[in-house]
Amino acid sequence: MANTTEAAAAPFGRDGGVLTVGGVPVDRLAARVGTTPFFAYDRSLVTTRVERVRAALPDGVELSYAVKANPMPALLHHLSGLVDGLDVASGGELRQALDTTVPPERISFAGPGKSAAELTRAVAAGVTVELESTTELARVREAGERLGLTPRVALRVNPDFAVRGSGMRLGGGPQQFGIDAERVPAVLAEVGAAGLDFQGFHVFAGSQNLRAESLCEAQRATVDLVLQLAEAAPGPVRSVNLGGGFGIPYTARDTALDLDEVGENLAKLLAVSLRPALPEARVVIELGRYLVGEAGVYLTRVVDRKVSRGTTFLVVDGGLHHQLAASGNFGQAIRRNYPLSLATAPGGPEETVTVVGCLCTPLDLLGDRVSLPGAAIGDLIAIFQAGAYGLTASPTAFLGHPAPPEVLV
């Protein structure tokens, strides 16, 4: 635990024992924000992460940011100056993406259950709709006819393989995501007959994967599949979105992904098979949490400290209503602590404490028997790895507490 926390905390730095975000000590930042709890994102950590990814990926591979990971407007605007494209999953995210400097043709709209109204907006905007079903194809075609526009589309494919080691599987077997690979040739014929502007393929088979060899294997299988499907394409393949799924370490048993191994494998794949076969295709890697997850911290204040039958509880003013994932109730089968530390200067000796949120449910557990330097009421606790799937993936209305501010520093 100590090592995971140290690794998660190190990039932020400390000033006189106080954690800093963007160089600002968090007690001062809390005063600036005016309230706790809040989320703070470190701008320079996002920038260096994008640079690191670009350095590892082969030349010419485009990087797309999956807005769902963190749609905070300031963060999105910062990222839009760093990446090549944005991937959105709803009409709301589409609106936000269109407010950035990323051109519509570099925005993709993926995800199941896109309504006719959302698809009409996407066609009017000129973004690439990642078709996930023939219903969506019909809706897009109809929207194009109504608007007098040629919809730009790609096919999201549900592959005939699953990716080992993904925290969340989004491909292989029966899925609500994408069009089953074996049905793709028939759908490509429909796309051609409908005169849609066919761009290419999108395969996103899994998320939160820390195993480089599994990601490499998935990329190999994806390239093979795309080359096979391309034979039935109604025109040249202009875009191949290979997905992503790069994971970040959340708990003591996680080890950071070997990014260079993934990049080297991809370079070989591109040189040997993808680029010779599909020379006109832009190759896209789509990442959410890997770009922002480790750049964010959730800061919450100790409001009570009590001992119950030998266990010391630190009760904080935040909880699972803001940072559900840290309570273990979002994407974990077995609850494990997220890295967490005292953010203000230590006041007492190291002790074992249980950190709980302020909601009246035992699920609101943020740190189960963690070792922390003595913390008092008023001190700040930092929960790391909070930059992705934090606030927007949490039940903020639960128990009626106010929503926390978010700041980009």
Ligand X SMILES: Cc1ncc(COP(=O)(O)O)c(C=O)c1O
Among 288, 296, 357, 404, binds ligand X (CB under 6 A): 288
Q: In the complex, what is the shortest distance from the CB of residue 89 to ligand X, in angstroms, rounded to a whole number?
A: 7
Judge whether 185 and 158 are in contact, CB under 8 Å.
Answer: no
The letter for the amino acid at 408 is L
Question: What's the token pair of residue 157?
Answer: 């494919």
Q: Which stretch binds ligand X (CB under 6 A): 27-35, 230-238, 283-291, 336-344?
A: 283-291
Cβ closest to ligand X, residue 110 vs residue 194? 110
End-to-end alpha-carbon separation of the chain, Å? 27
Q: Which stretch binds ligand X (CB under 6 A): 270-278, 280-288, 307-315, 396-404?
A: 280-288
Q: In the complex, what is the shortest distance from the CB of residue 13 to ligand X, in angstroms, rounded to a whole number?
A: 25
Nearest one of 206, 208, 132, 203 to 169, comparing CA atoms:
206
Q: Which stretch binds ligand X (CB under 6 A): 45-53, 224-232, 282-290, 326-334?
A: 282-290
Judge whether 314 and 357 are in contact, CB under 8 Å.
Answer: no
Q: In the complex, what is the shortest distance from the CB of residue 325 to ligand X, in angstroms, rounded to a whole number?
A: 12
Q: In the complex, what is the shortest distance from the CB of residue 4 to ligand X, in angstroms, rounded to a whole number?
A: 19
The H or E element that residue 352 is part of is strand 348-356
Q: In the complex, what is the shortest distance from the CB of residue 90 to ligand X, in angstroms, rounded to a whole number?
A: 12
Q: Which stretch binds ligand X (CB under 6 A): 117-125, 157-165, 200-208, 343-351?
A: 200-208
Among 204, 250, 298, 384, binds ligand X (CB under 6 A): 204
Among 26, 69, 137, 370, binds ligand X (CB under 6 A): 69
Among 66, 119, 154, 179, binds ligand X (CB under 6 A): 66
Q: Which stretch binds ligand X (CB under 6 A): 8-16, 184-192, 203-211, 331-339?
A: 203-211
Indicate if the alpha-carbon torsion angle 343, 346, 348, 351 is positive or negative: positive
Angle (CA) 283 284 286, round 5°: 165
Q: Cα-Cα-Cα-Cα dihedral of 245, 250, 256, 257, to 10°?
A: -10
Query: In the complex, which residue's CB is closest to ligand X?
Result: 288
Residue partners of 385: CB distance under 8 A and separation at least 6: 8, 248, 249, 250, 293, 294, 296, 326, 338, 339
* Residues in region 231-250 near ligand X by CB under 6 A: 244-245
The letter for the amino acid at 87 is D
By CB under 6 A, is residue 290 in contact with ligand X? Answer: yes
Nearest one of 56, 1, 73, 67 to 405, comparing CA atoms:
73
* Residues in region 88-117 near ligand X by CB under 6 A: 110
Integer Cα distance of 332 and 316 in angstroms? 22
By CB under 6 A, is residue 286 in contact with ligand X? Answer: yes
Catalytic residues: 360
Integer Cα distance of 270 and 266 in angstroms? 6
Q: In the complex, what is the shortest distance from the CB of residue 341 to ligand X, in angstroms, rounded to a whole number?
A: 24
Q: In the complex, what is the shortest distance from the CB of residue 106 to ligand X, in angstroms, rounded to a whole number?
A: 15
Give the rounded distance of the alpha carbon of 259 from its chain centre.
16
Cβ closest to ligand X, residue 31 vs residue 256? 256
Residue partners of 182: CB distance under 8 A and separation at least 6: 160
Judge whether 142 and 120 are in contact, CB under 8 Å.
Answer: no
52 burial (CB, 10 Å; 0-12 / 13-18 / 19+) is middle
Residues 153-182: x/- map of binding to ligand X (CB under 6 A)? -----------------x------------
Q: Which residues bind ligand X (CB under 6 A)?
A: 66, 69, 87, 110, 170, 204, 207-208, 244-245, 286-290, 388
